Amino acid sequence: MPSPFAASSAPAATADAVADISTRQHYGGLIWLVAASFFMQALDSTIVNTAVPAVATALHQTPLNMRSALTSYVLTLAILIPATPWLCDRFGTRKVFGAAISVFALGSLLCGVSQTLRELVLARVLQGIGGAALMPVGRYVLARTIDKRDFVQVMSTVSTFGLLGSVLGPLLGGALVEYANWRLIFLINVPVGIVGMWLNQREMPEYRLDTANRFDLFGFLLFAAASALLLAASEFAADETVRWGQMGLFVALAVAFGTAYVWHSRRTQHPVADLSLLRVPSVWVSLSGNLLTRLGVSGMFLLNVLFLQVGCGWSPMAAGLIMVPQALGAISFKWLVNRALIRLGYRRLLFGNTLVVAALLAMFALLGPHTPIALICLLVFLYGGFMGMQYTVMNTLIYADLDIKYASMASSMQSTTQYLSMSFGIALATLLMQTLLHGQDSIAYVTAFHWTVIVIAVITAVASRVFARLDKAPNRLGPQP
Closest by CA to 127, choosing from 102, 95, 156, 162, is 102
Distance CA 394, CA 414 (A): 10
Task: Give the pLDDT mean for 435-448.
Answer: 79
**pLDDT exceeds 50 at position 240:** yes
Domain spans, the chain: 23-208, 216-271, 276-481
Same fold flag, 23-208 and 276-481: yes
Distance CA 34, CA 32 (A): 6
- The half-sphere exposure of 233 on its side-chain side, counting CA atoms within 13 A, is 18
Contacts of 262 (CB under 8 A, 6+ apart): 275
Helical H segments across 92-116, by residue range: 93-112
**Class at the top of the CATH hierarchy for domain 23-208:** mainly alpha
Quote the pLDDT of residue 2: 52
Task: Give the pLDDT mean for 381-408.
Answer: 82
Closest by CA to 340, choosing from 151, 146, 139, 153, is 153
DSSP state of 402: B
Task: Determine which of 31-45, 228-242, 326-340, 384-398 has the lowest per-residue pLDDT on average.
Answer: 228-242
Give the pLDDT confidence of 168-201 residue by residue, as tens digits. Answer: 777 777 778 777 888 888 888 888 888 888 888 8
3-state secondary structure labels for all residues of 113-149: CCCCHHHHHHHHHHHHHHHHHHHHHHHHHHHHHCCHH
DSSP state of 92: -
Residue 279 CB coordination number (10 Å): 11
Task: Give the pLDDT mean for 388-398.
Answer: 84
Task: Give the pLDDT mean for 353-358.
Answer: 94
| 99 confidence band (pLDDT: 50, 70, 90) | very high
Residue 180 CB coordination number (10 Å): 10
5: helix, strand or coil: strand
Query: Which helix (H) or strand (E) segment is 322 a member of?
Result: none
Quote the pLDDT of residue 208: 78
| 241 confidence band (pLDDT: 50, 70, 90) | low
Sign of CA dihedral 364, 367, 368, 373: negative
Is the CATH code 2.60.120.620 the one for domain 276-481? no
Quote the pLDDT of residue 10: 37
164 vs 30: which has the higher pLDDT: 30
